[in-house]
Amino acid sequence: MYRSRIKKFQEYLKRENLDAFIICSIAGDIYPSFNIRYLCGFSGDTGVLIINTRAAYLLCDSRFHEQARKEVRGAKVVPTRTHPLTALKDITQFRGRNLKYGFESEFLTCNERRRLKEYLGDVLLIPTIGVVSELSVIKDKTEVALIQKAADISDTAFERILGYLKPGLREIEVCAELEYQMKMLGSSNPAFATIVASGYRSALPHGLASEKKIARGDFVTFDFGACYKGYVSDITRTVVMGKAISRQKKIYNVVLRSQMAGIRKVRSGVSGKAVDVAARKVIDKAGYKKYFGHGTGHGIGIYFHVAPSAGPRSTDVLKRGMVLTVEPGIYIPGWGGVRIEDDVLVTNTGGKVLNKAPKNLLEV
């Protein structure tokens, strides 16, 4: 698997007339570490991956030597005594006059680029954008199975949290329990910062869990995901703490109809924009146009925000093997909001929903 990915990357180098490509993952830089893992299997948070037209090399310091030997496939592990980026100044094999190296311009800081230029000498650095994302956008059967497992974990964790939920709990307590349950089910870590937003805070699309206590009658929105062997899920469910009032039922049903319309539009050959239009039309027609401000969906895979996008400005065309979310919402400031989200696999005949958690309005 990893060797074939390296080979595809080498084909890209030849097409773009590049001698090599360098990916630098520094602790805390999320995207590069995921990209390195995708290409060679290394799950550490610090490393430098260099791919040329003949071979690939993973540089890592002493903290990761044994881990890299066990995990890395398709690339040669190069142990370093210092930080792998700093070690480049002492490794002459990667230098050469007029060599052209591509790099991830969207992730490399100005300081890191300066250091690369200093350590690689006469190498010409060529900025690129989204190379790994483009290579990874179509998932094979193994990748789909891993995303499905992550979705299964999130579904079961949601089922368990419903039995835990009660008035008086703080959002952060519920968040901790939800993440604990995902861990117990096999998730290595949350796919992203977990959202638990109740009452008026459910009108915040990215309302991270707070000290607010959940009250009877509140909408409670959960937006969370699991990570399983490097692949993620992303699900949103909104429930009512106790009995729902008529306004809550009405808005929930609008969002549910919107989400189902978006899912029905998903299939290979359809634009991401068309998915957004289908979902947005339902909300607009119901009179809530100004309360839906974000895009309808985004791709998932090795990270929770990748191509393709499904929004008003999307230029992406869906292809078989892509996985994206469909997640419309209505958010009324000071009152509350609803979002419903599933992970959807693109096929030639439609969209296959990977999540099985119930979507009818639950009164907990």
pLDDT band at 32 (very low <50, low <70, confident <90, very high): confident
pLDDT score recorded for residue 29: 66
Please check whether residues 242 and 258 belong to one and the same domain. Answer: yes
* Domain end residue (candidates: 109, 136, 163): 136
pLDDT score recorded for residue 295: 97
pLDDT, average across residues 266-271? 98
Contact at 8 Å (CB) between 23 and 49? yes
* Domain end residue (candidates: 84, 116, 136): 136
pLDDT, average across residues 321-335? 98
Please check whether residues 87 and 213 belong to one and the same domain. Answer: no
Please check whether residues 234 and 172 belong to one and the same domain. Answer: yes
Contact at 8 Å (CB) between 96 and 115? no
In angstroms, the CA 1 to CA 13 distance is 19
For residue range 57-68, list pLDDT tens digits in order.
999 999 999 999
| pLDDT at 97 exceeding the cut of 90 | no
| pLDDT at 202 exceeding the cut of 70 | yes
For residue range 285-298, list pLDDT tens digits in order.
999 999 999 999 99
Give the global pTM: 0.93
* Domain end residue (candidates: 136, 167, 198): 136
Reading the block at residue 78, the tokens are 């190069």
pLDDT score recorded for residue 26: 82
Name the residue with tokens 């609008």. 254
Range of the domain at 177: 141-353
Mean pLDDT over each residue of the chain, to the nearest integer: 96
pLDDT score recorded for residue 336: 98
**Is 173 within a domain?**
yes
Please check whether residues 120 and 152 belong to one and the same domain. Answer: no
pLDDT score recorded for residue 58: 97
Name the residue with tokens 């039309």. 281
Please check whether residues 8 and 26 belong to one and the same domain. Answer: yes
> What residue ranges in the chain does DSSP mark as E strands?
20-25, 47-52, 56-60, 76-79, 100-104, 124-128, 195-198, 219-224, 227-228, 231-232, 235-240, 297-299, 306-310, 323-326, 329-332, 336-339, 342-346, 351-353
pLDDT, average across residues 232-251? 98
pLDDT score recorded for residue 78: 96
| pLDDT at 359 exceeding the cut of 90 | yes
For residue range 118-145, list pLDDT tens digits in order.
999 899 999 999 899 899 999 999 999 9
pLDDT score recorded for residue 96: 84
Contact at 8 Å (CB) between 79 and 57? no
Domain count, the chain: 2
pLDDT, average across residues 104-112? 90
| pLDDT at 263 exceeding the cut of 80 | yes
pLDDT, average across residues 337-353? 98
**Is 359 within a domain?**
no
**Is 361 within a domain?**
no
**Is 102 within a domain?**
yes
For residue range 147-181, list pLDDT tens digits in order.
999 999 999 999 999 999 999 999 999 999 999 99
In angstroms, the CA 9 to CA 39 distance is 9
pLDDT band at 355 (very low <50, low <70, confident <90, very high): very high
pLDDT score recorded for residue 28: 64
pLDDT, average across residues 94-106? 91
Please check whether residues 188 and 85 belong to one and the same domain. Answer: no
CA nearest to 39, candidates 13, 71, 67, 74? 74
For residue range 1-27, list pLDDT tens digits in order.
899 999 999 999 999 999 999 999 986
Please check whether residues 189 and 76 belong to one and the same domain. Answer: no
pLDDT, average across residues 207-220? 98
DSSP secondary structure of 288-317 = -GGG--S-SEEE-SSSSSEEEEESTT---B
